[in-house]
Structure 1
Amino acid sequence: MRIPQRPLAIGLVTLAFSALILARAQAGDRHFFSPVADPLVKEECGGCHLAFPPSMLPARSWQRMMGELDNHFGDNASLDPATAEKIRSYLVANAGDAAGQRYSSKLLKGVVAGAAPQRITQLPKWVSEHRKVPEWEWRHKDVRSKANCVACHTAAEQGYYEE
């Protein structure tokens, strides 16, 4: 009896891909941060920049940021109060200091207690991880900003920030 080749090949590819994803998740990838899962946050935040995983900052940072949307890194990102509250609630509930955030403590290491940092790129661990990147690379036409994670971390939108 002959086994059809196409379904078998598709099945093997699917199995291999699943095993790769599972292995990566089980390995405890220290550069994984759960990507934004909320469609409203993806739309509103991701419309201008990468919708950064909320686990990259503590809750107090998101509280402050959402309270200062009229001056969001030099831009007016104001939202209607109901939308802003929904986004704030999501960010705070999934912040790096919220229960269950597996890898955030490493990124938030060195942040002064009670501080509300606004830039992920100024966190001590981020600075340490990127210290060897030459200044000219940040100015490259495909990068232009330290906040443009996807320029170097091509799987950032899926939560992976490895090189």
Structure 2
Amino acid sequence: MKFTKPLLVLAMASLSLAACARYNGEDRGKPMMPNQVNAKWQAECSGCHMAYPPGLLPAASWKKIMSGLDKHFGTDASLSPADTAEISAFLVANPSNRWSSSAAPLRTTESEWFRVKHGEISAAVFARASVKSKSNCVACHSGAANGDFDDRTIPK
């Protein structure tokens, strides 16, 4: 079989994208976790909950969340202005591209992406003592803290 130059370039690009291991089918080629993570984000956010990978929400959502840390889901999670600016910059620089440009949910669980991925899971599963809520990603996705939400790693 003989390939034309444009077809060969297209084939090579497709292979390169397929080789990226941490990509999820719904993310249109963007990983949930960037190659370089921010230590301050990791330390501050994981002090109370899993440090949600920046690729789970769009930039507009991260801006809203970081500008309202004094009322962070019922808790005062205020940080110094310098820490807030550093973490905000990291999150906004590595957002999701799963969303329309106008969508800016504050919770990943409110997204259409989440509902599609978890639509067949009964409410009883999320109510289990081992899970407790839809936001407890690590209960089912052992690699969630590293941005790995691969369905194949969910325990059966």
Q: 1:125 aligns with which of 104, 113, 127?
A: 113
Name the counterpart of 1:157.
145
Aligned position for 1:57: 57
CA RMSD of aligned residues (A): 2.0
CA distance in 1, matches of 2:102, 2:120: 29
Tell me, in whole angstroms, the C-alpha distance in 1 between the residues paired with 2:78 and 2:117.
32
How many Å apart are 1:115 and its aligned residue?
3.1
Shift in Å at residue 114 of structure 1?
2.5
> Based on CA coordinates, which of the two structures has the bigger radius of gyration?
1
**Misfit runs of 4+, over 2 Å:** 24-29
What SS is found at the alignment partner of 2:116?
helix
Taking structure 2 as the reference length, the TM-score comes to 0.74
Paired positions, count: 128
Closer/same/farther in 2, CA of residues 55 and 27 from structure 1, 3 Å limit: closer
User: Structure 2 regions of 5+ residues with no counterpart?
Assistant: 1-17, 26-30, 152-156
1:28 Cα deviation after fit: 6.5
Structure 1 residue ranges without an equivalent (≥5) = 1-23, 97-103
Q: Does the C-alpha gap of structure 1 residues 89 and 26 become closer, same or farther in structure 2, counting only changes over 3 Å?
A: closer
* Separation in 2, partners of 1:51, 1:26: 23
In structure 2, what residue type is equivalent to 1:30? Answer: N
Number of the residue aligned with 1:143: 131
Partner AA of 1:48 in structure 2: C
TM-score, normalised to structure 1's length? 0.71
% of aligned pairs identical? 38
